[in-house]
Amino acid sequence: MTSSLTPITMQSALTKLIGSEHLSREEARSVMDIIMSGEATPVQIAGVVTALRMKGETKDEITGFAQAMRAHSSHVQTEQEGLLDTCGTGGSGIHKFNISTSSAIIAAAAGIRVAKHGNRAMSGKAGSADVLEALGVQITLTPEQAEECLKQVGICFMFAQLYHPSLRHASVPRKELGIRTIFNMLGPLTNPAGADRQLIGLYDAKKTDTVASVLGELGVKRAMVVSSNDGLDEISISAATRVSELLNGEVRTYEITPEELGLTRYPISEVLGGDPAANASIIRGIFSGEQRGAYRDIVLANAGACIYVGGAAASLTDGVKIAADMIDSGLAEQKLLGLIQTTGELTHVFG
């Protein structure tokens, strides 16, 4: 046993975990501090995160890891109130197009300030960084450039690799393990701008309420953590979706269906994507109005949730209607073009 007076080590943490004992929040934070500081070996990191996964991560363990990762991150200095992020965990194993990225742009068109956190693909073919790059957005903004972009356009993108350099210490074990671990959950929990509104798609439906509770512990005011019955880390239009909603410090879990949102049900095969160029083409088609059907509807479902969580709609169905208006009016397309232009100008001026 590790007493409260004895600092935890990677070895003592591993001993507790393989004995099915939980780490306290402080212990979890200390373990992540050791990892982020480069003091843990790849074998120790792999052992701890695998043991955590097998035991099942608790709210305190996830919160402690996230707090430590936030402490080691670069930050964008901006007003956090009403700021939205749509970063999800990925890891669904289904190669869909970039739904949360599309939704973030539509939410920004609806007047919600958006600080989108994301990375290159881990499990799919195109992560948010990949598809934004293919759309012409400059993704390697510094914190100062991201802050200015947010001021000018109402949306910025924060490339995770640049804001969490200490994660490099865990990159080898993560890659070699090839399984989902606590690290998959940490991206959405460590927004560099401190967004206090979030829509998080989660690969594991059993953990939606836990992650929603963690968000509350981290100071997030409103959030929806979603995981669909057909395995998407998004709100699905092919099946019901489990939602854990954080509001006023309380977490409420329920299910929603496409029909309840006023949308048509489609086979999941109709929302699959491809490489970054193919996904960029799908997004352009949705925003121009040429791409309708399943691609449009799944974006409406998720953008509607963003608009609801962001406080610009009284209900999910109202959010879906506003999202449709943002596309049909051309405002979503204008917001994307503004993001492309502004990131180009900022990297030229500041670069």
Q: Which pair of structure tokens corresponds to residue 41?
A: 């070996």
197 and 311 in contact (C-beta within 8 Å)? Answer: yes
Other beta carbons less than 10 A from residue 28's beta carbon: 27
Q: Which pair of structure tokens corresponds to residue 300?
A: 């409406």
Q: How far apart are CA 11 and CA 44, in angstroms?
A: 7
Q: How far apart are CA 50 and CA 207, in angstroms?
A: 17
Binding residues for anthranilate: 88, 119, 174
113 and 82 in contact (C-beta within 8 Å)? Answer: yes
Binding residues for Mg(2+): 100, 233-234
Binding residues: 88, 91-92, 98-101, 116-124, 128, 174, 233-234
Q: Which residues contact 170 (CB under 8 A, 6 or more apart)?
A: 35, 45, 183
